[in-house]
Amino acid sequence: MVDNEIALGLKGRDFLALVDYSPAEVEYLIELAIDLKAKQKAGEQHHLLKGKSLGMIFEKSSTRTRVSFEVGMYQLGGQALFLSKNDIQLGRGETIWDTAQTMSRYLDGIMIRTFGHRNVVDLARGATVPVINGLTDLSHPCQALTDYMTILEHKGKLKGLKMTYIGDGNNMVHSLMVGASKLGVDISVATPVGYEPDAEMVKIAVENAKATGAKIHVCHDPREAMEGADVVYTDVWASMGFEAEQAKRAEAFRDFQVNEALMQVAKSDYLFMHCLPAHRGEEVSEGVIDGKHSIIFDQAENRLHAQKAIMAAIM
């Protein structure tokens, strides 16, 4: 499929999870993100969404998601509207279906950052405009697309690389696994017992990996997972909504900190990644997250460009 065929096929689509996109479509979005980034850096106007509006529903607080989507729409020539759950009737009992139907009459696209993944699916079913998953408890596809874009910039390739993820089997690792399976990246995940990624998400990644040759590995030994890693990734031990479990998780994850000792078994030119916000001294040592291998702020910046690519492609 050539680029213009892919571009036509993406118009009007939802962006709920990477599993819904073919390897060629994921690669296209990454290439588009890199192109839009180059245009922005060169000061070239790229008003691909001139006159269009994006509604942004936030049921979870946000720094990177809100700023990057809002600025991204501005750079694309459109406008974004911030809508907290307290600003709209969804927070007062209106159904998701009615909200979706109504907002579709005003907007050209909807982004939602919420808890239950079902909320995003139901919103997309009710909407007649594209819906973007800004984050749910199950997945974080915008961040994963951003991360593979960032790795490509630094490594010059994706296929054949090994990513190691150490920590909680959360929404982040779900999207990273599926993205790896689509792009031919090997991924090895190490979690404490009882904190493994969702079994269905692992199954989906393994199934998708058959087409690209990617290896999907889940274990409970950080050193086993880390062996020969090109990219090392971690996330907070207690994601948003699990703060009450902080003390319990701190004990369970005690041996899963990404630190200088663990990095000895990664490749010497490894990249360190974290989707932020980070808790230095917990899931990662200061020496690693602030060290020469860390590309966390390149990731943060690229949220802007990857999400612009998503919006420009589907809206």
DSSP per residue, 110-144: EEEE-S-HHHHHHHHHH-SS-EEEEE-SS--HHHH
Tell me how far the alpha carbon of residue 279 is from its chain's centroid.
19
Q: Are residue 132 and residue 169 in the same domain, yes or no?
A: no
* Catalytic entry in 75, 143, 257, 307: 143
Asked if 46 is an active-site residue, the reply is no
Asked if 113 is an active-site residue, the reply is yes
Q: Are residue 27 and residue 64 in the same domain, yes or no?
A: yes
Q: Are residue 115 and residue 172 in the same domain, yes or no?
A: no
Q: Are residue 45 and residue 120 in the same domain, yes or no?
A: yes
Asked if 303 is an active-site residue, the reply is yes
Q: Are residue 166 and residue 148 in the same domain, yes or no?
A: yes
Q: Do residues 295 and 163 make contact, with C-beta atoms less than 8 angstroms apart?
A: no
**What is the span of the domain harbouring residue 56?**
3-139+302-314
Q: Are residue 242 and residue 180 in the same domain, yes or no?
A: yes
Asked if 92 is an active-site residue, the reply is no
* Catalytic entry in 64, 117, 140, 305: 140
Phi and psi (nearest 5°) for 57? -95, 120
Q: Are residue 307 and residue 245 in the same domain, yes or no?
A: no
Q: Are residue 295 and residue 263 in the same domain, yes or no?
A: yes
User: Among 297, 195, 208, which Cα is nearest to 252's?
Assistant: 195
- What are the DSSP calls for 5-67, one per residue? HHHHHHTT--BS-GGGS-HHHHHHHHHHHHHHHHHHHHT----TTTT-EEEEEESS--SHHHH
Tell me the pLDDT tens digit for each residue of 190-208.
999 999 999 999 999 999 9
Tens digit of pLDDT at every position of the chain (315 positions) = 468 999 999 999 999 999 999 999 999 999 999 999 999 999 999 999 999 999 999 998 889 999 999 999 999 999 999 998 777 777 667 889 999 999 999 999 999 999 999 999 999 999 999 999 999 999 999 999 999 999 999 999 999 999 999 999 999 999 999 999 999 999 999 999 999 999 999 999 999 999 999 999 999 999 999 999 999 999 999 876 777 888 899 999 999 999 999 999 999 999 999 999 999 999 999 999 999 999 999 999 999 999 999 999 999
Q: Are residue 266 and residue 277 in the same domain, yes or no?
A: yes
The model's pTM is: 0.96
Query: Quick one: how many helices (H) and strands (E) in the chain?
Result: 12, 9
Q: Are residue 243 and residue 158 in the same domain, yes or no?
A: yes
N-term to C-term CA, the chain: 21
The CATH number given to whatever domain includes residue 7 is 3.40.50.1370
Asked if 235 is an active-site residue, the reply is yes
Asked if 154 is an active-site residue, the reply is no
Q: Are residue 131 and residue 177 in the same domain, yes or no?
A: no
Cα 299 to Cα 70, 140, 268, 294, 304: the distances in Å are 17, 14, 20, 10, 9
Q: Are residue 163 and residue 72 in the same domain, yes or no?
A: no
Look at the chain and report how many structural domains it folds into: 2
